[in-house]
Structure 1
């Protein structure tokens, strides 16, 4: 790693942090890449300014930042992710519609919004606002929260900034970053996210994150259904089917 341009060194640091799966001390990064410690600290400081890395001062460690996450998921906003996901969405709808008619969707995080890339509908269509190409505030959607709960709390704070008031659509849902973090902690603990009437009155959604080969959340698979469709009885079934579909898509993206 000696006598190489700074850009190459910066990319090597990002790759090392991504493969590590958890924050690393600067000294460990320098040793792993064969870089001088002083150069490593200078690069990390410069990358932190642009949001590519985050410093955890209490632990004296460095991790991937929001900019790295956005850059990593940008590639998957287009055809590859959709092509891999579509047959899984179709199978998900077929396997669940006998018990509960629900729309299956694929969404990605774009800034503070969820952008919906693909959807499959049951034979008896369910009319929803989350059409392909629609963007909605991530903190209100099950798909958005499924992705956000896989990020570090500092990354979430960096995205939403301090104690800003979060908008609602129906008067329901988190109205502050503090409330959002509570939702995200619950979602991460359960292994899925849920919203009831946050986007549209009378409708609920469940979603599970999709991870790439670096174990970073690049998308979410969700299902939306009417509250009067008996979903409360079959929620466990829906969650299990969603988790299976998300796991399969994650494997196709190289996740372990």
Structure 2
């Protein structure tokens, strides 16, 4: 098969950036891929225009962009993540007796790709194919906490007021959201209480790939009236275990 040089180089650039935890300068990209600098800059310019790469002018560096996550989300909906995730979520629900779900990040929304309601539990808004604002959900917060600061600034620019669904306290500015995500990184899980649906609480953990980027997040949701501190801690541990199990199967990532 004849190789198309421009397409080959473009895909190599995207593959390189997708494996990095920090943005790279153009010179490093050119060196790593053995590309001429002029070609590298031309490719990066086009990729930035289409949203597949982020340019950070002050740092003179480049990172994977939000459009690339849209492609990843599309893959996740139709490929191993959804199939593997369904089995893990079903076992999680059976073990805990609470409803569970798996969601991927799509821009500033979460997209639910697996939903499993526990026997005797109320139906939730997080049905398959439903989108909700990522900053309000436990699954969204778990994934957002794993993004680079530049990616968060792209998704939540300026001082915009963030959407609320209920009267429960929730972040209303990007700054408040960043502070909340710092706590998520410290805890290793994300919580949500009454911010999506009154009377319900959720805990979620991110499913990470080999580079530490969020592929998805797995969560459990239960009625707040049945919530106890020890119970919440147990469910948090269970979603962490489930997220690691999915990551091991889908990307080969070791737990922890």
Q: Residue 110 of structure 2: which of 114, 137, 141 is its match? A: 114
CA distance in 2, matches of 1:31, 1:65: 21
CA distance in 1, matches of 2:106, 2:235: 26
Q: Residue 172 of structure 2: which of 170, 175, 182 is its match? A: 175
CA distance in 1, matches of 2:228, 2:91: 19
TM-score, L = length of structure 2? 0.89
Maintained 8 Å contact 1:143/1:209:
yes
Aligned counterpart, 2:152:
156
Q: Does residue 29 in structure 1 map to residue 26 in structure 2?
A: no
Maintained 8 Å contact 1:211/1:255:
no
Q: Does residue 193 in structure 1 map to residue 190 in structure 2?
A: yes
Q: Does residue 212 in structure 1 map to residue 212 in structure 2?
A: no
Q: Residue 124 of structure 1: which of 104, 120, 124 is its match? A: 120
CA distance in 1, matches of 2:66, 2:46: 15
CA distance in 2, matches of 1:197, 1:147: 19
- DSSP 3-state at the match of 2:19: helix
Q: Does residue 136 in structure 1 map to residue 135 in structure 2?
A: no
Deviates more, 1:155-164 or 1:178-187: 155-164
The offset of 1:53, in angstroms, is 1.6
Q: Per the alignment, do residues 225 and 231 of structure 1 end up closer, same or farther by CA in structure 2, a change over 3 Å counting?
A: farther
- DSSP 3-state at the match of 1:125: coil
CA distance in 1, matches of 2:82, 2:27: 40
Aligned counterpart, 2:94:
94
The offset of 1:52, in angstroms, is 1.5
CA distance in 1, matches of 2:112, 2:251: 22
> Would you say how many aligned residue pairs link Structure 1 and Structure 2?
250
Maintained 8 Å contact 1:215/1:255:
no
Matches within 5 A, 1:25-64: 25-64=25-64
Maintained 8 Å contact 1:108/1:117:
yes
Q: Residue 221 of structure 1: which of 196, 208, 218 is its match? A: 218
Maintained 8 Å contact 2:137/2:192:
yes
Aligned counterpart, 2:100:
104
Aligned counterpart, 1:243:
240
TM-score, L = length of structure 1? 0.89
The superposition leaves residues 177-198 of structure 1 with CA deviations (integer Å, 9 ceiling, x where unpaired) of 1111111121122111111110
Maintained 8 Å contact 2:80/2:250:
no
Q: Per the alignment, do residues 107 and 231 of structure 1 end up closer, same or farther by CA in structure 2, a change over 3 Å counting?
A: farther
- DSSP 3-state at the match of 1:129: coil
Maintained 8 Å contact 1:105/1:120:
yes
The superposition leaves residues 17-72 of structure 1 with CA deviations (integer Å, 9 ceiling, x where unpaired) of 12334322222211111111122122222222222122334544322111112212
The superposition leaves residues 229-251 of structure 1 with CA deviations (integer Å, 9 ceiling, x where unpaired) of 13422222111111110011011
CA RMSD of aligned residues (A): 1.9
Deviates more, 1:120-129 or 1:201-210: 120-129
